[in-house]
Amino acid sequence: ASDPTITAFCTYLNIPVSVIGIMNAQYPVFEIELYFANQKIVICHSGDEIRYYAPSTEGKWLKENEHLRQAGILKEYMVPVLDKAKGIVQGKIKEDNFLQAAALNKRMLSILKNHSN
């Protein structure tokens, strides 16, 4: 596939993290779940939606707080990226790792491409 993804389970700052990425599906699958002592945060729909869960009053299960749900957050996801790039080109932003991050991304894609052959 031209857009590689990962699946991982790890601990970050003592927080269990689940990253689910599935390639070759008929629909995009990329979700991140962050687990806390009595709540969790789910980033779903390939990053376009964030859901917050807390203990329900009915039992032990977590229930989504729908009032906190953030949806459609990737609608204009490239706007801040382009604004940052424009600031760098115009010399308005002096210290930034944008170019290093872009170079790292390019290198990672090259490594993935070479290992898939």
Structure tokens at 4: 């590689």
Cα 46 to Cα 19: distance, rounded to the nearest angstrom: 11
Whether this prediction's pTM lies above 0.85 is answered by no
What integer pLDDT is reported at residue 1 of this predicted model?
47
What integer pLDDT is reported at residue 34 of this predicted model?
92
Q: How, if at all, do strands 62-64 and 70-71 pair?
A: unpaired
What integer pLDDT is reported at residue 96 of this predicted model?
64
Cα 20 to Cα 23: distance, rounded to the nearest angstrom: 10
How do the pLDDT tens digits run along the chain, 117 residues long?
456 677 889 888 888 999 888 877 787 778 899 999 889 999 998 888 999 999 988 877 899 999 999 998 877 766 777 777 787 778 776 666 767 777 887 887 887 777 665
Torsion of CA 72, 74, 80, 83, to 10 degrees: -100
Cα 45 to Cα 65: distance, rounded to the nearest angstrom: 17
Cα 105 to Cα 42: distance, rounded to the nearest angstrom: 25
If you count DSSP H runs as helices and E runs as strands, how many of each does the chain have, helices first? 2, 7
What integer pLDDT is reported at residue 51 of this predicted model?
95
The domain ranges of the chain are 1-73, 76-117
